[in-house]
Structure 1
Amino acid sequence: MTLEILITLLIVLAVLGALASNRVPADMTMMAALVLVLITGLISPGEALSGFANPGLMTIAALYVVAAALRDTGAIYWVAHRLLGQPKSVLSSQFRLIAPASILSAFLNNTTVVAMMIPAVQEWAQRLRLSASKLLLPLSYAAILGGTCTLIGTSTNLVVDGLVQEKGLPAFGIFDVAWVGVPVLLGGAAFMLLISRFLLPNRASMASQWEDAREYHVEMLVAKGSPLAGRTIQDAGLRNLTHGFLTDIQRDERLFTAVGPEMTLQEGDLLAFVGVPECARELQRINGLQAAHGGAHKLGLNNHQRHLV
């Protein structure tokens, strides 16, 4: 065994240990490994930087931009609420979850799909009074299996395609791997639908425990030109909130305290909600509502710019 082989093995073992411990971010671990093999002379600077010119890597970076747009615009929540619906059992809820998750992950990075859908699925499970533990693992596996159906569904396929092109071989088509991926997806989905509910635990979410939760008062305004104007409270989705309850509506000088689900919303309505602190975040994601008081612009700040006091 040469010195280069020994150093390479030590670096690989150190990377595996760092990834397994989860104490260091994966990107820092991989970049540190790249720097180590570079300064030890195992590879040249040209070889170290060649991966950044891989078209597959650039495609992955572009897909993350698309995923960020879907997350920040709330499109992923619209998709979740439209496609997930109101199933009555664990079996039907898993079926309604596996189908959109696998389709989305076929055209977006599966890790990003899971990260975006976890909050939506948790709220969905709370609204249906189902255990989220019955849905989160099927979500993860559906995204993994769906990613194997297309070339851009998973970063691994894109990296392999880039290596193939570097060797002068013909590139893969976007659906060339579907002949293997689709049967694997169907088989995995059938297993999850038939067997997973017997294997997954049934854990209640702490967020669904309202008895000991401190109540908060939140006021939201139906904005001018809001798509909620002219719709009933039931149709606007304000009757089935997970973390809050609509108590009254102020319209000009009138106050409506007995708010029924058939009441029609109008522009300028001031809606008062009572619930747990997560209610404000839930209402923020509803298109057409805006915070009624000053400081609403702070909701547009990025997570790293916010400070909890």
Structure 2
Amino acid sequence: MTTGFTHETLGQRVVFAPAGAAGAVAAEVGRRDARRVMLIAAPAERRLAEQVAGDVPVVAVHDDVRMHVPVEHAQRARAAATEARADLVLSVGGGSTTGLAKAVALTTGLPIVAVPTTYAGSEATPVWGLTSGHEKQTGVDPRVLPASIVYDAALTTSLPVDLSVASGLNAMAHCVDAMWAPHADPLDIALATEGARALATGLPEVVADPGGLDGRQDTLFGAYLAAVAFASAGSGLHHKLCHVLGGRYDLPHAQTHAVVLPHVLALNAPHAPDADRRLAAAFGSDTALGGLEALRTTLDAPRALRDLGMRESDLPGAVAAILPVVPPSNPTPVTEDTMTGLLRRAWEGAPPR
């Protein structure tokens, strides 16, 4: 039986356009009556982005994209948008590219049309993040929520399998965290459950047939549901932890989420039986952790933070930085000892427990 709750639905157009991104993007830009578009894409995706934007009035192309959106990169992008007198930002790429577009929108108010090429999910949330020094600051602002998203599975086929796996497990982390995040409600949980099911179906197909569209389409759909659930539920322990690790130690975003996820699930599932049951059903397993670990084995997912560049000497500082940001609503109480053990196992690549 569902109890009383309040849920805020975000206003955003979402277009799934298999093998039809260019036409869909032109239509979405036209709906905004934009005449001076700033295109943001990382150097590796610039050619693809220009093809997607072929029928769009682009007046500036900005490719100064970096992971975790350093403040100085955000400032340069904002200046470029002002100089170009842009009236819309078109982002084509992964989470870092979308994040930079959000940084521009945060101070300029320009609308965003986002075209994801990974499964990061940033395009469906009003969450922004900026890194200064070794600290990553995040916030929520309706100005950074893209006005439109165009999803085209064909644009993800160039994403290597290992990055597809990491990005997809990053999306899975949105589903898992939405089960117990501070503002989670029954709609978030329903979206997260179906998102986990779609990701668990799609990701093995991506690994088995990297050039196929069916698995990538399911994975994109799951990533969108996951992001919508996360946007409403807020950041739980997993995301708080990963934001600290990414900001302080410049670890790769998706891979860090992929490594840490089973350890947070192992910690919280025993004290969140409904979430455990729902996720287990989504994975087709007896337990959520068992299902996730079986999926990770199938996907040959990354397993150790030390493989991503984190040093053993970083662990005490990471624990000290994470403890103050642990959500009070986390299902399992978090102490210095439990967090030390969790991070130690994630660093070593040991089995979660």
TM-score, shorter chain, exceeding 0.5: no
The TM-score, its normalising length taken from structure 1, stands at 0.26
The TM-score, its normalising length taken from structure 2, stands at 0.24
